[in-house]
Structure 1
Amino acid sequence: MPITLESHHDVAVLRIDHGRANTLDTDSCRELVFRLEEVADARAVVLTGTGRIFCAGVDLKRIRDGGAAYVSEFLPLLSDALLAVFGCPRPVVAALNGPAIAGGAVLAAACDHRVLGPGTIGVTELLVGVPFPLAALEILRCAYGTAPLPSLTYSGSTYGGADALARGLVDELADNAFERALAVATRLGELPPEPFAHTKAQIRQPFHERIAEYRHSDDPEVERLWRSPAALAAVKSYVDGMLG
């Protein structure tokens, strides 16, 4: 299974376990949505990765190999997975056990609290040559505000340690990100569940509304750009050059 489930008392632990880099593809996106439905009765959730990587983002090798047809299947599932985390009524704490890159950084941003261990965080989609789905960009806007988005997205830079903390990309640093995230999730899980869920929904309502209003018109344009020969060639070049 690309997403494994563990139980720590009243806290559900979802662990991305999908290939060497814990990437997001059609299988892991579907599984993440399913797992979040499965843990609906948990008091809180910790989302983390297996090994030394939290999530390296989209599985670009599958984009390269699957081409335009795979892109059309994958992009809606990616948005659905990100929104499943973002819309979860329970507290969700990200234990960044290693790099959280591109879609992995958005996945972290969808959580309520981010604990960073060794590793870096940053959104690098534009470096590959593809734009952000609207859901991803609105999740980043909710987590970090509008003002930092240009420098965060245009540069494609990644940040670690004190730099990531100073920029507000994570909430705290810890030598053992999982243990600290579990402690935070346990504390948040002690809050009254219905008032917490309502407060969370109030905070995120403007972003959900914007996604609901514009996704139907923006998603086809994002899909067109990802399916374009230029974008697919850029992905192939990136994968062949950087990933081997």
Structure 2
Amino acid sequence: MSTVLRERQGSVLLVTLNRPEALNAFNAELHRELSDAWHEAGDSQIRAVVLTGSGRGFCAGADLNAPPASGALGHSTLRHALNANTLAMAALDKPVIAAVNGAAAGAGLSLACAADIRIASSGAKFVPAFVDIGLVPDAGGSWFITRLLGYARAFSWLASNRRLGAEEAREWGLVSEVLAPERLLGHALEMAEQLATKPGLAVGLTKRLLAQAARNSLAEQLEAEVTLQNLAVLDPDRARARAAMLEKLGRRSIP
């Protein structure tokens, strides 16, 4: 049985972590198959991705029933499996929506926070988990959570390991919406389809711009906007969208 299911729905790729008996915890096979999913997501025909979990959980992090990794072996797993998947996901020039259907803990929390948009089932739980087993956040958790919540709240939460329910996660801004479990996946796919149908390169380039904004000065960001706007303008689909807007508005000029 595949540990990661991939299903194309038009220009949307649905990626489902599929170890429900282990709350979709990471093992070596899941790492490999998730890497394959990000590779498929890079296909130009795919314009948005939805990531979710099967069964009761989104992802419980590392599988604690697997043989413990230590020393160089542990470093290798972190660098070449967890970190490689985080970087591959973040590098996609298309939106990734995490539909958090259940518990997201440890590296599974990091995975959810690496998505561009997070929506949650009313039964979802968000649990840092790291400190209670003597570990620090990994798989990008320290980077993404600090940017999502700010330093003070991120540190307090990660250091305390407090379980966060879906509604509180929404209040904090960790997720944008909370839905009934039966509505979660359908809504995520609808959101993805809406983003996938936006014309040209605009959505992917906007994602790239926002990623750069955190490290750029104002002058650097203004220059980045000029560079990426040139790419956006030159895409043929943008010209078609502009013409359609002109016809709709009955005007002779539009930026």
Please say whether Structure 1 and Structure 2 have the same fold, judged by a TM-score greater than 0.5.
Answer: yes
Matched residues, percent identical?
28
Query: Which structure 2 residues correspond to residues 10-159 of structure 1 after superposition, within 5 A?
Result: 10-18=11-19, 19-40=21-42, 41=44, 42-64=46-68, 66-68=69-71, 70-76=73-79, 77-117=81-121, 118-133=123-138, 135-159=140-164
Q: State the superposition RMSD in angstroms.
A: 2.1
Secondary structure of the corresponding residue to residue 127 of structure 1:
helix
Amino acid paired to 2:112: A
Amino acid paired to 1:110: A
User: How far off is 1:203 after superposition?
Assistant: 1.3
Distance in 2 between residues matched to 1:34 and 1:208, nearest whole Å: 30
Secondary structure of the corresponding residue to residue 13 of structure 2:
strand
Given that residues 82 and 136 in structure 1 are in contact (C-alpha distance below 8 angstroms), is that contact kept between their aligned partners in structure 2? no
Distance in 1 between residues matched to 2:91 and 2:3, nearest whole Å: 21
Given that residues 120 and 184 in structure 2 are in contact (C-alpha distance below 8 angstroms), is that contact kept between their aligned partners in structure 1? yes
User: How far off is 1:208 after superposition?
Assistant: 8.4
User: How far off is 1:205 after superposition?
Assistant: 2.6
Distance in 2 between residues matched to 1:137 and 1:198, nearest whole Å: 25
Structure 2 equivalent of residue 224 of structure 1: none
For residues 95-130 of structure 1, the C-alpha deviation after alignment (integer angstroms, 9 at most, x for no partner) is 111111111111111111111112201312111111
User: How far off is 1:86 after superposition?
Assistant: 2.1
Summarize the Cα distance change of 1:90–1:15 in structure 2 as closer, same or farther, 3 Å threshold: same
User: How far off is 1:189 after superposition?
Assistant: 1.4
Structure 2 equivalent of residue 228 of structure 1: none
User: Comparing 12-21 with 44-53, which one deviates more in the overlay?
Assistant: 12-21
Given that residues 90 and 193 in structure 1 are in contact (C-alpha distance below 8 angstroms), is that contact kept between their aligned partners in structure 2? no
* Larger helix percent: 1
Summarize the Cα distance change of 1:134–1:101 in structure 2 as closer, same or farther, 3 Å threshold: closer
Summarize the Cα distance change of 1:36–1:146 in structure 2 as closer, same or farther, 3 Å threshold: same
Structure 2 equivalent of residue 170 of structure 1: 175
Structure 2 equivalent of residue 3 of structure 1: 4
Amino acid paired to 1:3: V
Amino acid paired to 1:112: D
Distance in 2 between residues matched to 1:32 and 1:177, nearest whole Å: 21
Secondary structure of the corresponding residue to residue 54 of structure 1:
strand
Q: How many residues align?
A: 208
Distance in 2 between residues matched to 1:78 and 1:206, nearest whole Å: 25
Q: Which runs of 5+ in 2 are unaligned?
A: 217-255
User: How far off is 1:72 after superposition?
Assistant: 2.8
User: How far off is 1:206 after superposition?
Assistant: 6.0
Distance in 2 between residues matched to 1:43 and 1:73, nearest whole Å: 32
Q: Which has the larger radius of gyration?
A: 2
User: How far off is 1:39 after superposition?
Assistant: 2.2
TM-score after normalising by structure 1: 0.78
Distance in 1 between residues matched to 2:127 and 2:200, nearest whole Å: 31
Distance in 1 between residues matched to 2:139 and 2:13, nearest whole Å: 28
For residues 169-205 of structure 1, the C-alpha deviation after alignment (integer angstroms, 9 at most, x for no partner) is 2110011211111111111212235222222112113
Distance in 2 between residues matched to 1:88 and 1:79, nearest whole Å: 15
User: How far off is 1:63 after superposition?
Assistant: 4.7
Distance in 1 between residues matched to 2:147 and 2:214, nearest whole Å: 7
Amino acid paired to 1:71: G
